Amino acid sequence: MPEKALEIRGLLKAFGRNQVLKGIDLSLESGTVTVLMGANGAGKSTLVKVICGHHRADGGDLMLAGRPFSPADASDAISKGVVTVHQSIDDGVIPELDVANNLMLDRLVETGSGFFVHEGKLRKEAQKVAASMGIDVDLKARVADLSVADRQMIAIARAMARAPKVLILDEPTSSLSAAEANRLFALIDRLRDQGVAILYISHRLSDIRRVADRILCMRDGSISGVFETQPLDYEAAVTAMLGHRMTEVDISVEKGGAPVLELDGIRLSTDGNRFDLSARDGEVIALVGLLGSGKSRLAETIYGMARLEGGEMRIDGKPFRPASVHDAIAHGVFMSPKDRGSNAVIPAFDIANNMTLPFLSRFSAGSFLQSRRLRSRSREMNERLGVVCQSETDGIGTLSGGNQQKVMIARWLMEPCRVLLLDEPFQGVDIGARRDIGRQIRASARGRATLVFMTEIDEALEIADRIVVMTEGTIAGEHINENIDLAALVSDISGTEAGLAGHSA
Ligand SMILES: Nc1ncnc2c1ncn2[C@@H]1O[C@H](COP(=O)(O)OP(=O)(O)OP(=O)(O)O)[C@@H](O)[C@H]1O
């Protein structure tokens, strides 16, 4: 029998009158990866925050390796053997220090030996840790200069230097490219072999298929399903998580709409290849590519944040060369940026104000009627997208991450525009919510051209009329979604492995 690393019985947690955890029972076994799936707002982060000492439980018992466990705070949890790598990876590293010092940080602090004292010894030890984790990074590099993936590896390696019994990874692949995610999976395999009990939280079926030994589903503050018999039944797990089967997004190809946005022989960098793209009224185009493929640069160029380095852009047949974001917006171009935390959410505002923010100035006459109208529209949008909240006057900060993302998308779907750019709209949202958002994107498509920038092919296939593949700053291929030739699509994204891993075709 595998050893029970962590056992939880009857865990309760409420925020005010919102009972978020309603008696959670679960156990994590050593040398096993348990995936925790749950719809946005189900309570996953709250559960993790209780386990890692960030929140105090209101009731229930936690046992770590057979002993009562009630962490006073995050560092108490770590010292007892429960380490969490949060979505915000820089929680786990000090960006200004080099890799070796980051890897050895805890030992340096524990022994009080201070930094850089035994430089040679420190580097040797760090080398050992890096090698044992299969990490191939220059130990002298400043962590701030590393890629997101490398920083995340260092955060995990640092966590492992504490020899934890339980490692919690909260959506660890959300900022990684496919190849980087594969490196992370290899590291997880090693840790499992070393006997660590891993709790892995994810919304991505392709990740879940790759790492899960067992799946726990969470719905509305309770565990709604446990799947541990191989082969795992993913369809049943998704149903247990959502409480119903998933419904499909209807992709009916809009034919014959007039061109709205035309890119004619454009170049994103001075030495980049030129390309053309035309987006029609009512059309939803997915621009798919890995990190560095140029898709974000393209979004920024259309949105007036980056300079067009050649060629011509037109909107409704008229030349369009935005000098600024303000200028792009004035031409009817809206963009929902990725990384909602730093780019979009106004923490001090409530849901309705966050949703209607760009339009507030227009209604700023302070008119009571207008404000009522905005509130009722945001209430309707909340319902259509299934935002889990008490009311539209809740502070945005009280929503779960995925629900904040829905509010941000709603912000741009609510208002008419000519060109809508959505950068990674499904980041951090659960599978059911992805369908809700996809359906709303399609329902709002008429009267505009919609360009959705994303890394996951599965997501593109779910919502787009046309899939455009980008590599090295230019277009590598275009595919109509209806009767798509998946093999050809895959070969366009040459070298893409994990983004496709979950696709069964
Ligand atoms: N600090 C807080 N104050 C008030 N309510 C909160 C707080 N933190 C979480 N909640 C509420 O708890 C519920 C569960 O949120 P939680 O973040 O745990 O969900 P989640 O399952 O992690 O969702 P996601 O997948 O979207 O990240 C939500 O209704 C949320 O509004």
Q: Is the pTM of this model over 0.80?
A: no
Pocket of ligand 1 contains residue 499 by CB under 6 Å: no
Q: What is the pLDDT of residue 430?
A: 82
Distance 388 CA to ligand 1 centre (A): 9
Do 451 and 366 contact (CB within 8 A), yes or no?
Answer: no
Q: Which amino acid is at 284?
A: V
Give per-residue pLDDT as tens, 311-365: 999 999 999 999 999 999 999 999 887 765 555 677 778 888 877 776 655 555 4
Atom of ligand 1 nearest to the CA of 48: 18
- Ligand 1 atom closest to 49 (CA): 18
Question: Residue 497 — pLDDT band, cuts 50, 70, 90?
Answer: very low
Residue 400 CA: nearest ligand 1 atom is 17
252-332+417-497: same fold as 4-242? yes
From 168-177, 430-439, 484-493, the region with the lowest mean pLDDT: 484-493
* Ligand 1 geometric centre to CA of 41 (Å): 5
Domain ranges for the chain, please list them: 4-242, 252-332+417-497, 349-416
Q: Whose CA is nearest to atom 18 of ligand 1?
A: 43
Residue 242 has pLDDT above 50, yes or no: yes
State the average pLDDT over residues 427-444. Answer: 84
Is any ligand 1 atom within 6 A of the Cβ of residue 152? no
How far is CA 455 from its chain centroid?
A: 11
User: Which atom of ligand 1 has the smallest separation from the CA of 405?
Assistant: 26
pLDDT at 501 over 60: no
What topology does CATH give the domain 252-332+417-497? Rossmann fold (3.40.50)
Give yes or no for residue 44 CB within 6 A of ligand 1: yes
Which of 11, 20, 47 for a ligand 1 pocket mutation test, highest count of atoms within 8 Å of Cβ? 20
What confidence tens digit (pLDDT) does each residue in 468-494 have? 999 888 898 888 887 677 667 766 765
Q: What is the mean pLDDT of residues 240-263?
A: 72
Q: Is 388 in the pocket of ligand 1 (CB under 6 A)?
A: yes
Q: Which residues contact 47 (CB under 8 A, 6 or more apart)?
A: 11, 13, 21, 24, 36, 218
Query: What is the rounded average pLDDT of the residues 188-217?
Result: 90
294 Cβ closer than 6 Å to some ligand 1 atom: no
Q: Which residue has the higher pLDDT, 196 or 86?
A: 196
Distance 46 CA to ligand 1 centre (A): 6
Options 3.40.50.300, 2.60.40.3120, 3.90.800.10, 3.30.930.10; CATH for 4-242 is 3.40.50.300
CA distance 336 to 326: 14
**Whether the predicted pLDDT of 103 surpasses 80:** yes
Q: For atom 1 of ligand 1, which residue has the closest CA?
A: 398
The span from the CA of 200 to the CA of 184, in Å, is 12
| 45 CA to centre of ligand 1 in angstroms | 7
Mutational pocket test of ligand 1: of 216, 400, 409, the residue with most ligand atoms within 8 Å of the beta carbon: 400
- Average pLDDT over the chain, rounded to whole? 82
Per-residue pLDDT, 260? 95
Task: Return the pLDDT at 419.
Answer: 96
Looking at the chain, the whole-number percentage of residues with pLDDT higher than 90 is 32
Report pLDDT for 135: 78
Which pLDDT score, from 0 to 100, does residue 359 have? 61
Mean pLDDT over residues 224-241, rounded?
85
Instruction: State whether the beta carbon of 15 lies less than 6 angstroms from ligand 1.
Output: yes
Pocket of ligand 1 contains residue 38 by CB under 6 Å:
yes
Q: Cβ distance 502 to 462 under 8 Å?
A: no
What is the share, in percent, of the chain residues with pLDDT greater than 70?
A: 85
Distance 391 CA to ligand 1 centre (A): 14
Nearest to 464 by CA among 253, 265, 257, 273: 253
Q: Quick check: 24 pLDDT over 60?
A: yes
| CA-proximal residue: ligand 1, atom 27 (nearest) | 401
Q: Which of 223-232, 251-260, 295-304, 467-476 bottoms out in mean pLDDT, i.e. has the lowest?
A: 251-260
Mean pLDDT of 92-100: 83
**Could you write out the three-class secondary structure of 155-213?**
HHHHHHCCCCCEEEEECCCCCCCHHHHHHHHHHHHHHHHCCCEEEEECCCHHHHHHHCC
The C-alpha atoms of residue 192 and residue 206 are separated, in whole angstroms, by 19
Nearest residue (CA) to ligand 1, atom 25? 40
Candidate from 96-110, 191-205, 330-344, 487-501 with smallest mean pLDDT:
487-501
SS3 content of the chain, % helix, strand, coil (to 5): 35, 25, 40
Any ligand 1 atom below 6 A from CB of 51: no
Residue 280: its pLDDT value, please?
93
Residue nearest atom 7 of ligand 1, based on CA coordinates:
398
User: Mean of the pLDDT values across residues 188-211?
Assistant: 89
Q: What is the pLDDT of residue 69?
A: 94
Q: What pLDDT sits at residue 332? A: 93
With a 6 Å cutoff on the Cβ, whether 45 touches ligand 1 is: yes
Q: Angle formed by the axes of helices 148-160 and 119-132, to 10°?
A: 100
